[in-house]
Amino acid sequence: MSKRLMKITKSNSIAILTVICGIVLLALQIPVTNALVKKSNRLDAKFSKFYTIQNTYLLPEVLNEVSGITWLSNNVFACVQDENGFIYIYNVEQNEVINKIEFANSGDYEGIAINGKDAYVIKSDGLIYEIKNYESDSLEVSEFKTPFKQKNNIESLVFDKQNNRLLTATKDEDLGDKHLKSIYQIPLSTKKMDEKSIVNIDLKAKVLEKFQHKKIEKTFNPSDIAIHPKTKDIYVIDGKDPKLLILNSKGEILKVFELDKRKFAQPEGITFSKDGRLFISNEATDESANILEVQLRNG
């Protein structure tokens, strides 16, 4: 065999071997990638009998401090984060912020609610921004106050379509007794909050016994609130000691779900799609901020 022929043969052999190795490596990568996807939604058995994580959507760095979300349409959410006065319209399928709407200067913005073409954003001191025609070039921004102060640390907001009002809850100090965390209404017809709460969460209730803190007011700290579109039950998330509390319209506690801290590192937002799918957002910790689609087994 000539030297020239030997060189060609060796060259072809190396090329073929390279292709084979590439195919093998690719084949090996496929199950590993799938395993990682499955693992990202896997819960400890202690929690999986009560709920499952259907989908995990990672958020971009600009939403590391995501503090409130609300569902807009299939795959699209409106989000706020607690450092600047922007509403971020985020498509989880495209993994992209598709619109960014400035409504105010930097500040501690915590909750967002949407009523048709109008958006409402609440600050931790209870100040509410009304952004009319929020997705248009001619948006109008106004403010209205609530009786809350910074010590109340307000993080929650939801639009109650059935009663044309906003609902919010105190995270830290309540306007009433220390052993209560209350939900208050702001009728949009007056834009004045009723100081008499519509729901009182009794922190001494038996169902919360395992979570009770020496300082009773730390037993439950609402970080956001949502209303189930079908049952009209009220869902309240706790970001400090992750758990989900469900109340009926009368304010009676129906269920409490302890959340897996490995998955719900810092739950700050909660919302429902029109068909009743539940979504909970988490601020970034050691991992990226995310939105989790959660299916409750008993709720």
Residue 12 has a pLDDT of 52
**Phi and psi dihedrals of 100, rounded to 5?**
-135, 115
Question: Within a 10 A sphere around the Cβ of 11, how many other Cβ atoms?
Answer: 10
Supply angle C-alpha 171, 220, 79, rounded to 5: 50
The whole-number pLDDT of residue 7 equals 44
- Digit-coded pLDDT (tens) for 143-173: 999 999 999 999 999 999 999 999 999 999 9
235 backbone dihedrals φ, ψ, rounded to 5°: -110, 125
CA separation for the pair 89, 32 (Å, rounded):
32
Q: 89 forms bridges with which residues in the sheet?
A: 78, 99
- Please give the pLDDT value at position 44: 65
pLDDT for residue 40 = 58
Mean pLDDT by 10 residues, the chain (299 residues): 45 49 43 39 77 95 96 97 96 95 96 97 98 95 96 97 97 91 97 95 93 92 97 96 94 94 95 97 93 87
Residue labelled with tokens 């719900």: 264
- Report pLDDT for 178: 87
- Identify the architecture of domain 49-296 in CATH: 6 Propeller (2.120)
- The pLDDT score that the predictor gives to residue 4 is 45
Pick from 6, 77, 121, 56: which is nearest to 262 by CA? 56
